[in-house]
Structure 1
Amino acid sequence: MKKIHLILFLALTTCFLACKSKQTNTTISNMDFNEKTFQPYFKGGSNDSFWSIEFNDTFLVYKDLNGTRDVYNITAVNMAQDANVKQISTEKGKQKIRITVQYNKCTNKTTSKINDYTLDAVLTANNKEQNLNGCGDYVIPVNLFGKWTLTMFKGNEIPVTKYTKTPYIAFENEDKYVTGNTGCNGYNGPIYFDNNYIRFSNLAVTRKACIHENMEHDFLKELKTITKYKVINNELHFYTADELKMIFKKN
């Protein structure tokens, strides 16, 4: 009887470990990648050796000098504590890519364009490593493109009829640049953008005198404190740390 119990116990244990291992090793299949819905927030590479990468939280797309494209699942993201350094690990079968993204001005030798980040890539295939270097930048993702009108400010709803002009913000393309209106004056300028983090610190504002009621002073003051954003359904949420400060709705 004890032998039977022991055999049953070992069989159940083996089945449990096999099932658990199967679940642990499950990753998102590359079949789930959809080029039409893929929205990278970082793009980089090197025009010298003709390779490029694009990535978001889930996928990394790599193109080599022959124009061959490979899609990888991002398996790990590690951040250094003492520097603005991010390491991204990907894997597909026996092929691996490890990208180190570091905040450091980098000049593309071919285009002379100055990027904010350096890239160090290690490609592993068939137990052979290849090292690549390049430059890159975070870019405004497609879901932010367009004009967004303010609908909530510090917990208070802002009806479209409250002011003659309602503050809005607009992102036109991938460039880290913004335009908008405070409800009185127009504003524009470069912004800091890093995936979910966003900063408005160097905006230029026109100086037109507005006789109609507006919220320009409070809007600009609060905009300078914003540190994070989220797009939820058709709304753009701005946060200071984790506190929701503004909600915009896409026009």
Structure 2
Amino acid sequence: MKTKAIFYMLISVLGLVSCEENITDKEQLYNTSWELEYISGTRIAFEGLYPDKKPILTFDKSTNRVSGNNSCNGYATDVTLEDDQISFGEPGITTMMYCGEGENQFLNMMKKVNKFGFDQEGKLLLYHDDVVLLKFHKADKTTEAHSNPSSMTTQHQTSKSYFKAAGTEPFWSLHISEKQISFTTPSDSIITPYAKPIAAMDNNVKTYKVATEAHMLHIQISQKECTNAMSGEVSPYSVTIDYGKTNTMEPTHVEGCGQYITDYRLHDIWVLTTLNGMNMTTDHFAKELPNIEINTTKNRFAGYAGCNRMTGQIFFEKHLLRFTNVAMTKKMCPGSNQERQFLEALKKVTRYNIENNQLILSNPDEELLILKKAD
């Protein structure tokens, strides 16, 4: 009996040690940055994939996010951890510089990762099942500082851009903000002051015509589905650009794909407080107030309309927001339920404003809905 008691005591102690080791392992992810030193499954040598800068990851425990770069463009996404299991969400909006094949290899491997661990040297290993896909060592402070997206000050990597585009042959990138337009190719970098676009009367086409003493840019953005010639990624807008020296008779013509960058502040859960000027309570709906969860990465929304569940898509352009392609469950709702009025108001929305943790939805004629950020 005494032998059994000692045995069970040892098992309990070992269990506690094991738990402590798991916690310690997870804690090692934080308070440092990780620089890639190995990637599996490539036919190109590691230094050939990343001749200048290596991908860097930094884990944030408080937000369950990971950020850094994928060798030259920024990288940020959600991370889910459970024991030794790990998964990464879809990366958010970032810059669109072309960085060679290394970037695609890194992003593809990150999608496959489902497990993590550390070797005896303290290096971070990311696995698919039991196969090591990526290996990282702790970055030194200099590398860490240069990789931190918040410290980047390059003009083409501004978080205030509301539209971005890219193309191939030659590789180029475009960023438009309310202050400037930045166009970059392997041989040129053209930055001009912002110019208000000219909108077509019959189609969703916008044209920017800008010039400096040295360069001219003629940009046309059309709401027409576009497929990247190299990656196969589909974007909602087609872009054509003519550029060159000012007064040139033969500008260079390039084509590519682009998208508007949805306001990151919308990415949250919002709960209805006011409908058509009236304060709302749970008495106006079944059980709880309507709510909307907006995902700006995927331009989708989901939520509760007051009786039924709903999902749909976000259409976003500069100063424009619409809730489209709404799909609903089909529960019968009491006649006093305000769900129908809520949905009618939601479909009329074309504008938004965010202030004091409130999302105000309107159109040119009226204020339709006020929602507060969920606690």
TM-score (normalised: structure 1)? 0.71
Deviation track 1:40-66 (CA, whole Å, cap 9, x = no partner) reads 332212145321222233333333237
Matches within 5 A, 1:64-75: 64-65=185-186, 71-75=191-195
Q: Which residue is equivalent to 2:252?
A: 130
Would you identify which runs of 4 or more consecutive aligned residues in structure 1 move more than 4 Å?
A: 32-37, 68-71, 159-163, 208-211
CA–CA distance in 2 between the matches of 1:234 and 1:34? 30
Cα distance in structure 1, aligned partners of 2:155 and 2:229:
32
Matched, 1:95 2:215: yes
Task: Decide which structure has greater strand share.
Answer: 1
Aligned with residue 235 of structure 2, among 112, 115, 140: 115
Q: For structure 1, which segment, 148-157 or 55-64, has the greater mean C-alpha deviation from structure 2 after superposition?
A: 55-64
1:50 aligns with 2:167: no
Q: Report if aligned partners of 1:39, 1:142 keep a CA contact under 8 Å in 2.
A: no
Conserved in 1, the CA contact under 8 Å of 2:216 and 2:246? no
Give the C-alpha shift of residue 170 in structure 1.
2.2
Give secondary structure in 1 for the equivalent of 2:241: strand
- 8 Å Cα contact 1:182/1:219 also seen in 2: yes
In the alignment, which residue of structure 1 is the partner of 2:182? Answer: 61
Alignment match, 2:261: 139
AA aligned opposite 1:73: P
For residue 245 of structure 1, report the CA deviation from its aligned partner: 0.6
Kept after mapping to 2: 8 A contact 1:148/1:250 = yes
Whether contact under 8 Å (1:191, 1:201) holds in the other structure is yes
CA RMSD of aligned residues (A): 3.2
| 1:62–1:202 distance in 2 versus 1, CA, 3 Å | same
Cα deviation, 1:202-234, whole Å, max 9, x if unaligned, reads 1122345678x8532221122122222233453
Partners of 1:76 and 1:226 lie apart in 2 by: 24
- 2:206 corresponds to 1:83: no
- Pairing of 1:168-247 with structure 2 (within 5 A): 168-208=291-331, 214-247=337-370
1:197 CA displacement:
2.1
Determine the structure 2 residue equivalent to 1:152.
274
SS state at 1:203 partner: strand
User: Equivalents in 2 of 1:153, 1:36: separation in Å?
Assistant: 39
Residue 187 of structure 1 and its aligned partner are, at CA, apart by: 1.7
Residue pair 1:76, 1:90 contacting (<8 A) in 2 also:
no
Give SS of 1:188's match.
Answer: strand
Larger Rg: 2
Q: How far 1:243 sits from its partner (Å)? A: 1.1
**Secondary structure at 1:191's aligned position in 2?**
strand
Measure how far apart 1:133 and its partner are: 0.9
Q: 1:71 to 1:214 in 2, by over 3 A?
A: farther
1:178 CA displacement: 1.5
Q: How does 1:159-170 map to 2 (within 5 A)?
A: 164-170=287-293
Partner of 1:104, secondary structure, is coil
Q: Of the two structures, which has the highest relative contact order with CA contacts closer than 8 Å and spacing of 6 or more? A: 1
Q: Which amino acid aligns with 2:345?
A: E
In structure 1, the gaps of 5 or more residues are 1-31
For the residue of structure 1 that corresponds to 2:206, the secondary structure is: strand
Counterpart-to-counterpart distance in 2, 1:206 and 1:100: 40
State the Cα deviation string for residues 27-83 of structure 1 (Å, max 9, x = none).
xxxxx99889733332212145321222233333333237x8665321232112233
Partner-residue secondary structure (3-state), 2:325: coil
Tell me the amino acid that sits aligned with residue 277 of structure 2.
G
TM-superposed deviation, 1:134: 0.8
User: For structure 1, which segment, 95-104 or 55-64, has the greater mean C-alpha deviation from structure 2 after superposition?
Assistant: 55-64
The alpha carbon displacement at 1:122 in A equals 1.9
In structure 2, the CA distance between the partners of 1:91 and 1:33, relative to structure 1 (3 Å rule), is farther
Verify the 8 A CA contact 2:361 2:367 in the aligned structure 1. Answer: yes
Q: Cα distance, 1:93 vs. partner?
A: 5.0
Tell me how many residue pairs correspond in the alignment. 218
Q: Which amino acid aligns with 1:223?
A: L
Further displaced range: 164-173 or 68-77: 68-77
In structure 2, C-alpha distance between the alignment counterparts of 1:157 and 1:146, rounded to whole Å = 21
* Distance in 2 separating the partners of 1:37 and 1:180: 32
C-alpha distance in 2, partners of 1:36/1:65? 16
- Whether the 8 Å contact between 1:77 and 1:88 is mirrored in structure 2 is yes
8 Å CA contact 1:74, 1:91 repeated in 2: no
- AA of the residue aligned to 1:54: H
CA distance in 2, matches of 1:193, 1:226: 11
Structure 2: how far apart are the matches of 1:70 and 1:142?
27
On the 8 A contact 1:75/1:91 being kept in 2, the answer is no
Letter aligned with residue 130 of structure 1: T
